[in-house]
Amino acid sequence: MALLDSVKSPRDLKKLSSGQLQQLADEVRALLIEKVSATGGHLGPNLGVVELTIALHRCFNSPHDAIVFDTSHQSYVHKMLTGRADQFDTLRQKGGLSGYTDRGESEHDWTESSHASAAISVIDGLSKGFSLQGQPHRNAVAVVGDGALTGGMCWEALNNLATDKSRNAVVVVNDNGRSYSPTIGGLSANLGRIRAQHGYDEIMEQGKKRLKSMGWVGERAFEALHAVKEGVKSTVVPTEMFPDLGIKYIGPISGHDLEALTRAFSYARDYEGPIIVHCVTEKGHGFDPAVNEPNDQMHSTGVIDPVTGKPKGKSQPGWTAAFSEELLEAGRRREDIVAITAAMAGPTGLTPFAEEFPQRFFDVGIAEQHALTSASGLALTGLHPVVALYSTFLNRAFDQLVMDIGLLKLPVTLVLDRAGVTGSDGASHNGVWDMSITTIVPGIRVAAPRDGQRLRELFREAIEVSDGPTVVRFPKGNLLEDQEALDTLVDGVDILHYGDNQDQSSPDVLIIAVGAMSARSLAAARLLEEQGLNVTVVDPRWVAPVPRSLIGLAGDHDLVVTVEDGTMRGGIGSLLSEALSAAEVDTPLRRLAFPNYYPKHATRGELLEEVGLDPESIAESVLGWVGTLTAQD
């Protein structure tokens, strides 16, 4: 890694020759494979942008010129070129490098959200700000995956960029034909037509080799031919793809040709006004196991063999797989079940349904807002849509849930994968907000299964609801061991544990465990009983609206504690507090949940322990509260 070791900032790239740049690209690609294989992470996308990122940093002047990645899971090469190559052993680990850009890591990182389709809006604002502050020649660059262009925010931003020709905003379209999986929709088809129309790229490559064999005369001829080629592209393609916006366009350009990229980005850097640079890349480029992987080209991997690309360790049954099987069974039983994803059929478990029922499956691209409102239209025709999203991405569609589904009391089931703390993907990927935002919707029903069997049961119950929306949420990772109930109350609340301390003077504590917090709450109950407390543990299953039996149980105990992996503010504990107050039940209530802050990247277990949601900390908190109540008595 001789060259990469010498690159401590983008300024160092400007000293390298063309041959050295190619060597640098090879070193970067090798380091990516070595390090991401050991830590897990977004390997395929970063292998695809090695040359593109090198050329960007060679031509622009970061951080004076702002470079924003959309999404920033494709920023690993950027991190290496901005002085962080020696930290990749810590990638996505607690206290280590984030898997996304992170303003706390480097002045070269302008944003840190993992949500797609926002970067063009960001550079719209940056370029306005630079201009207003007397820096009109300062560039703002968005590196946008073609998958991100399926999101509506991109087009809102492009519409605004086109209104002011004086701002230096550069949109680099990283076109690899994929988001997580193959990109869908009219935009993708249009990009495909452009790539096909300009199939003379292959001819140009062949001609380049022949002309260069002729020596300097051939090289001059090639340069002239290339200039003609670029000129043709610049005038022909905009009329196909951006007919009304009037934004300057150059491309398509090979995203793995450092010379072509350098010419294109140099032109874009010096161009006065907004410009689109269309680069065609290959996801996983340079690593055959990624390129040949048929589903997602190693978009995101766990720990893998750096040679074969095969996962290390045994695969355990996961929450997503359990949902996938149950959805498939529901589709076979009921012809009114339809499924919707926002560009993530594989990760959310919808692929088997799509394969068996292709006419009843809809991938809308990275467009969660559209997904929910389209689901409302499907529901209005008498169908029952199942919309599967990552919990964090539901945040983007809150208005549509409230106004287009909730207001009309439509039977739409939202299945929220990666709910609660997800861990290594970092602050904006954690799904800690879903219970707070969904339970605001009037008439909504929210379920939190504790294990695979409850996931199946609650999903079946959810799709039977016909008078309003339902939500089924579950965490990332392996299924927890099935925990059977000792008793089930009339409204579906499961009793998981009864205290058996015969001492009548011992305080009675009711722990209300939400979903996957049940196993941790049961472990805490055992620790508490060793301290002489009587502990009852219940799982509401349906956490909203609050089951009436919880109010009665609360009245029979000395202390009520809610344990949930969502945010404290507006969570299930807050709902229960309101319900107890309305029922005039004065049993003290204490809540264990996620504080109101953005959790950084770490494992799920580390983050839960950090905020007191491991069994030992739960028990310690309860003992402290019991001690305070006893002292007051």
> Are 495 and 437 contained in the same domain?
no
3-state class (DSSP) for residue 145:
strand
Q: What is the dihedral of CA 188, 194, 200, 206, to 10 degrees?
A: -30
The predicted pLDDT at position 297 comes to 83
Per-residue pLDDT reduced to its tens digit, 563-613 = 999 999 999 999 999 999 999 999 999 999 999 988 889 999 999 999 999
Domain finish residue from 473, 504, 530 = 473
- Reported as a pLDDT band with limits 50, 70 and 90, residue 203 is very low
Q: Work out whether strand 445-447 and strand 542-544 pair parallel, antiparallel, or are unpaired.
A: antiparallel
DSSP 3-state percent helix, strand, coil across the chain (nearest 5): 45, 15, 40
114 is annotated as contributing to ligand binding: yes
Q: What pairs with residue 446 in β-bridges? A: 471, 544
> Are 275 and 411 contained in the same domain?
no
Instruction: For residues 462-487, give the mean pLDDT.
Output: 96
186 is annotated as contributing to ligand binding: no
- Reported as a pLDDT band with limits 50, 70 and 90, residue 228 is very low
The predicted pLDDT at position 225 comes to 44
The owner of tokens 């997904």 is 371
Instruction: For residues 175-193, give the mean pLDDT.
Output: 59
Can you read off the two tokens belonging to residue 582? 């309305």
> Are 275 and 375 contained in the same domain?
no
Per-residue pLDDT reduced to its tens digit, 420-444 = 988 888 888 889 999 999 999 999 9
**Domain membership flag for residue 100:** yes
> Are 580 and 532 contained in the same domain?
yes
Q: What is the DSSP string of 306-366?
A: TTT-PBPS----BHHHHHHHHHHHHHHH-TTEEEEESS-TTTTT-HHHHHH-GGGEEE--S
Show the DSSP H helices in 250-310 as ranges: 258-270, 288-291
**Domain membership flag for residue 158:** yes
106: DSSP letter:
-
**Does residue 177 have a pLDDT over 80?**
no
148 is annotated as contributing to ligand binding: yes
323 is annotated as contributing to ligand binding: no
Can you read off the two tokens belonging to residue 70? 């959309």
Per-residue pLDDT reduced to its tens digit, 494-539 = 999 998 766 667 789 999 999 999 999 999 999 999 999 999 999 9
Q: Among 58, 396, 541, 604, which one carries the catalytic annotation?
A: 396
- What's phi and psi for 575, nearest 5 deg? -60, -45
**Domain membership flag for residue 28:** yes
Instruction: For residues 111-121, give the mean pLDDT.
Output: 91
482: DSSP letter:
P
- Reported as a pLDDT band with limits 50, 70 and 90, residue 186 is low
Domain finish residue from 424, 442, 473 = 473
CATH of the domain at 525: 3.40.50.920
- Lowest mean pLDDT, pick from 94-98, 220-224, 521-525: 220-224
**Domain membership flag for residue 355:** yes
Instruction: For residues 295-299, give the mean pLDDT.
Output: 80
- Reported as a pLDDT band with limits 50, 70 and 90, residue 630 is confident
> Are 450 and 390 contained in the same domain?
yes
Per the structure, the count of domains in the chain is: 3
424 is annotated as contributing to ligand binding: no
3-state class (DSSP) for residue 304:
strand
Q: Work out whether strand 494-497 and strand 534-539 pair parallel, antiparallel, or are unpaired.
A: antiparallel
Q: Name the residue among 242, 286, 209, 255 with its Cα closest to residue 43.
A: 286
Alpha carbon distance 96, 39 (integer Å): 11
Q: Among 368, 529, 564, 606, which one carries the catalytic annotation?
A: 368
> Are 87 and 165 contained in the same domain?
yes
- Reported as a pLDDT band with limits 50, 70 and 90, residue 221 is very low
Instruction: For residues 279-298, give the mean pLDDT.
Output: 88
Angle subtended by helix axes 258-270 and 50-59, to nearest 10:
40
CA pseudo-torsion sign 394, 397, 399, 405: negative
- How many Cα atoms occupy the beta-carbon half-sphere of 548 within 13 Å? 2
> Are 355 and 283 contained in the same domain?
no
pTM attached to this predicted model: 0.88
For the chain, what is the mean pLDDT? Answer: 89
> Are 460 and 502 contained in the same domain?
no
**Does residue 288 have a pLDDT over 60?**
yes
- Reported as a pLDDT band with limits 50, 70 and 90, residue 6 is very high
**Domain membership flag for residue 7:** yes
**Domain membership flag for residue 111:** yes
**Does residue 183 have a pLDDT over 70?**
no
> Are 360 and 258 contained in the same domain?
no
**Does residue 212 have a pLDDT over 80?**
no
Would you give the distance in Å from CA 415 to the centre of its chain? Answer: 15
Active site residue 165: no
For a pLDDT cut of 70, what percent of the chain falls above it? Answer: 88
The predicted pLDDT at position 206 comes to 52
Alpha carbon distance 482, 117 (integer Å): 39
- What's phi and psi for 367, nearest 5 deg? -150, 70
Rounded to 5 degrees, what angle do the CA atoms 21, 25, 30 make?
150
**Domain membership flag for residue 620:** yes
Domain finish residue from 415, 439, 473 = 473
> Are 527 and 603 contained in the same domain?
yes
> Are 457 and 498 contained in the same domain?
no
Alpha carbon distance 475, 93 (integer Å): 19
Q: Name the residue among 508, 569, 564, 514 with its Cα closest to residue 534.
A: 508
Would you give the distance in Å from CA 373 to the centre of its chain? Answer: 20
The predicted pLDDT at position 176 comes to 85
Buried b (16+ CB within 10 A) or exposed e, 513-533: bbbbbbbbbbbbbebbbeeeb
- CA-to-CA dists, residue 152 to 100, 170, 335, 389, 526, angstroms: 22, 19, 31, 17, 51
The predicted pLDDT at position 187 comes to 56
**Does residue 631 have a pLDDT over 90?**
no
CATH of the domain at 10: 3.40.50.970
**Does residue 194 have a pLDDT over 70?**
no
- Reported as a pLDDT band with limits 50, 70 and 90, residue 220 is very low
Can you read off the two tokens belonging to residue 141? 């660059």
387: DSSP letter:
E
The predicted pLDDT at position 213 comes to 54
Active site residue 283: yes
404 is annotated as contributing to ligand binding: no
Can you read off the two tokens belonging to residue 439? 């339970």
524 within 8 A of 511, measured Cβ to Cβ = yes
**Does residue 257 have a pLDDT over 60?**
yes
- Reported as a pLDDT band with limits 50, 70 and 90, residue 235 is very low
593 is annotated as contributing to ligand binding: no
For a pLDDT cut of 90, what percent of the chain falls above it? Answer: 73
Would you give the distance in Å from CA 31 to the centre of its chain? Answer: 24
143 within 8 A of 172, measured Cβ to Cβ = yes
Buried b (16+ CB within 10 A) or exposed e, 25-60: bebbbebbbebbbebbbbbbbbbbbbbbbbbbbbbb
Can you read off the two tokens belonging to residue 581? 């107050």
Per-residue pLDDT reduced to its tens digit, 126-147 = 999 999 999 988 999 999 987 8
Q: What is the end-to-end Cα distance of the chain in Å, rounded?
A: 69
**Does residue 632 have a pLDDT over 80?**
no
**Domain membership flag for residue 203:** no
> Are 452 and 555 contained in the same domain?
no
Q: What pairs with residue 361 in β-bridges? A: 339
Q: Is 495 exposed, middle or buried (CB count within 10 Å of its CB: 0-12, 13-18, 19+)?
A: middle
17 is annotated as contributing to ligand binding: no
**Does residue 326 have a pLDDT over 70?**
yes
Determine the structural domain holding residue 113 and report its residue range. Answer: 2-198+237-291
Q: Among 29, 283, 360, 445, which one carries the catalytic annotation?
A: 283
Would you give the distance in Å from CA 346 to the centre of its chain? Answer: 13
Instruction: For residues 388-401, give the mean pLDDT.
Output: 96
